[in-house]
Amino acid sequence: MKHEVRRSDTQLLMEARTCAEPFGVFYERHFASVLAFFRRRVAGPEDAFDLAAETFAAALASVPRFRPGPEPPQAWLFAIARHKLNEALRHGRVQDEARRQLAMQPIELDEEAIEIIETTALAPAVQLLENLTPAQREAIEARHLDERGYAEIAAALRCSESVVRKRVSRGLAALQAQLNEERTS
């Protein structure tokens, strides 16, 4: 049985200089986080997807110049993402310079596609939720995913409303801390 060794991101980007396939692996590994990054910052899933596409196109165009450094390649990728977001905010629309430069075809988004984008953008957040304590996760899921009231959740969990509020508040703070860490990493 053949076991494929997981290639590091640096290795993928170095290999992508001479071969297309490693960039595909790099894309699959990081697309959801980049999409989620934009989804939290722009109003619609279409804009988030366009920004993510533009980010990966710019990253691909920069691959020949990529040089491994002290920071992990994700930091390089998110630096491009932040730049693309600022550019979009400055111009009031998502730029397509990198995609045009690479002669990429625009991707049409129908209802089904938007649903996939939304689910994918949510996936990293679900992963973050898994890092919370079970009590905090349960409280946040009940309050923010199931949209139940505090009194109802307190009754179900057999604790006071103030305990539920505290769990939700602490869980949200922990999520915020994780997101901040992700942004600066």
Partner 1 sequence: MSDPIRDLKRELLAAAERQRRSAPIATGLWGRRRTPRRILLVTATVSIAATLALVVSAPWSDSPGLLENAKAALTASPDTVRHERWEVTSTSTEAACTLTRGPSELWADTTPPFRWRLLWRGLPMLEEDVLPEATEPDCWKGITYELGGTSKPVCTATGCEPTLRFIAPNTISAAGIEPRFLPDPVGGLREAIDHGLAHDEGTTQLGGRTVERIRFDPPPDCDADQACRPPIYLYVDPETFYPVEIHNPQFRGVSSVTRFLTFEYLPRTPANLKLTDIRAQHPDAFETGSP
Binding site for partner 1 (CB under 8 A): 8, 10-11, 14-21, 23-24, 27-28, 31, 49, 52-53, 56-57, 60-61, 63-65, 67-70, 102-105, 107-110, 112-113, 116-117, 120
Phi, psi of 159 (to 5 degrees): -145, 175
Residue 51, CA atoms < 13 Å, CB-side half-sphere: 34
Instruction: List C-alpha distances in Å: 98 to 54, 59, 73, 106, 163.
Output: 6, 9, 19, 12, 50
Quote the CA–CA distance of 93 and 86 in Å, as a whole number: 10
User: Is 117 or 153 the residue whose CB approaches partner 1 more closely?
Assistant: 117
Quote the least distance from Cβ 158 to partner 1, whole Å. Answer: 42
Choice between 9 and 138, CB closer to partner 1:
9
**Nearest distance in Å: CB 36, partner 1:** 13
CB of 11 to partner 1, least distance (A): 5
Q: Which residues of 124-151 are buried (b: 16+ CB within 10 A; e: fewer)?
A: beeebbeebeebbbbbbbbbeeeebebe
Kindly state the tokens that stand for 4: 């494929």
Would you say 110 or 181 has its CB closer to partner 1? 110
Cβ-based nearer residue to partner 1, 67 or 158: 67
Which residue number, 46 or 152, has a Cβ lying nearer to partner 1? 46
**Number of alpha carbons in the 13 Å side-chain half-sphere of residue 119:** 6
Minimum Å gap between C-beta 89 and partner 1 is 22
